[in-house]
Amino acid sequence: MTRIRPMVAADAARVADLTTQLGYPSTPDEISTRFAAVKGRTEDVLLVATDESDRVIGWIQVGRIALLAESDVAQIGGFVIDEAHRSAGIGAELLGAAEGWARDHGAHAMSVRSRTERTRAHRFYEAHGYRRIKLSHVFKKSLD
């Protein structure tokens, strides 16, 4: 039986494994540092899905974003289900919990960015009521 709960510091090692599966290689120390920076923010939530032994098998991060161009929006900052547990309804449960948190915190819409090659994820989002609204390029610059 799947359980959805807030992430805790002790989840860092497993969350690091899942974040690596998502395509962002991470260590438990890196996740611990990032978690510490996010956990006290009231405009963000980090939720995990666990199996019957409380082993983390998925996580999602959602945050309210303040924009001049749009109001009352929450954005998925990361979302992954362990490869061995995909297509079992766990992602839908975790997404539903995150959407509930967003609604409870004043959001009227939820957005997510997804790499163009993640067609399976696109089908998942569309099956859960998300519409593709635009294609864009994402740019990044190192400030080091």
What are the chain's domains?
Answer: 3-127 (3.40.630.30)
Q: Which residues contact 109 (CB under 8 A, 6 or more apart)?
A: 70, 72, 73, 74
| pTM of the predicted model as reported, rounded to 2 decimal places | 0.92
pLDDT digits (tens, 9 = 90+) for 78-114: 999 999 999 999 999 999 999 999 999 999 999 999 9
Question: Does residue 40 register a pLDDT over 90?
Answer: no
Any bridge partners for residue 111, and if so which? 75
Q: What is the mean pLDDT of residues 68-82?
A: 94
Calculate the CA dihedral of residues 110, 116, 117, 120 and round it to 10 degrees.
30
Reported confidence tier of residue 66, pLDDT bands at 50, 70, 90: confident
- Please provide the distance, in angstroms rounded to a whole number, between the alpha carbons at the two ends of the chain: 45
Question: CB-based burial of residue 98 (10 Å sphere; 0-12 exposed, 13-18 middle, 19+ buried)?
Answer: buried
